[in-house]
Amino acid sequence: MRPPLTGIRAAQSGRRVPVGAWVYPGSNEKPDDVLVALAKRGVVLLGESHDEAEHHHWQLHTIAALFSHRPDMVLGFEMFPRRVQPVLDRWSRGELNETTFLREVDWPQIWGIAGELYLPLFHFARMHRLPMLALNVDRATNRRVAAQGFAAVSRGEREDVDDPAPASASYRDRLFEWFKQHPGAGEEARADSEAFERFVRAQLFWDRAMAEAIAGARRNGRPLVVGIMGRGHIEYGDGVPHQLAALGVDDVATALPWCADTDYPIHDPPIADVLFGVAPRP
């Protein structure tokens, strides 16, 4: 169990996060030194909604602030499968222009979200010669594991990713809510269906792949790994933090951007260690 960034959590009457402010969910403590606290961790996971520009602006500014404390960081990205790691290395060394980089990683196929949302993050890495780490596996690999199960697919066929730790009951509940909105769920989505089990396997395998890549970077001596990934992979300490804990990596902090006109949930464990208020989408 990783220690909290702040002290004892107290009840909090307001559930909103002002624009430009950091909040410890469920605490009245004023987090003036939140970036210093984050920089002391071995892993910092920055969540996002993939198509929200403000989330990526926040990620860039947070990375820049962390860099001022921990300049020898590595940046890990959910967007990239392991097979494009050599392209990321060439980009970070300044050997590729934008057009060539996006073409060689096959951006429309591996991710598909507008590249301009992510390019400022990639440019920050290149400007400071920071290593960029591909956290993920190919989608085809993920689909194969989801369809056939962990035992039926060899480690080599699943890019050497190990069996994930089982999902908590609360994570399965949230996954089921997402599953019901998924096109593959059908009109009668059921929590006991094989379709839902495939959905859970896919999510757990995605989580485990990213966690193993982060843990590997930590073993190789990097003092700070910053992970950029969808918020669903980090909320409530499930997903990637849960898989990291199973790998013995518990020096982890999670941070989320939070729309200033939306209440955040008061929950134990909290939805993230810290929240940052961002302006609502126009």
Residue 249, domain member (yes or no): yes
Residue 171, domain member (yes or no): no
Residue 1's pLDDT is 42
Count how many domains the chain has: 1
Residue 207, domain member (yes or no): no
Residue 6's pLDDT is 55
CA distance 249 to 251: 6
Residue 170, domain member (yes or no): no
Residue 187's pLDDT is 64
Residue 174, domain member (yes or no): no
Q: Which of 28, 51, 136 is nearest to 88 (CA)?
A: 136
Residue 7's pLDDT is 46
Task: Give the number of other Cβ atoms within 10 Å of residue 160's Cβ.
Answer: 12
Give phi and psi for 54, each to the nearest 5: -65, -30
Please write the tens of the pLDDT for every residue from 58-109.
Answer: 999 999 999 999 999 999 999 999 999 999 999 999 999 999 999 999 999 9
Task: Give the number of other Cβ atoms within 10 Å of residue 11's Cβ.
Answer: 8
Please write the tens of the pLDDT for every residue from 194-204.
Answer: 999 999 999 99
What is the CATH number for 252?
A: 3.40.50.11550
Residue 91: domain span? 22-138+221-278
Residue 237, domain member (yes or no): yes
Tell me the three state secondary structure of residue 45.
Answer: strand
Residue 246's pLDDT is 98
Residue 78, domain member (yes or no): yes
Contacts of 92 (CB under 8 A, 6+ apart): 125, 126, 129, 130, 131, 132
Residue 112's pLDDT is 92
Tell me the three state secondary structure of residue 47.
Answer: strand
Q: Which of 129, 127, 34 is nearest to 73 (CA)?
A: 129
Residue 173, domain member (yes or no): no
| Residues in the chain where the model's pLDDT stays below 70 | 1-14, 30-31, 184-188
DSSP code string of 212-243: HHHHHHHHTT-S-EEEEEEGGGTGGG-SHHHH
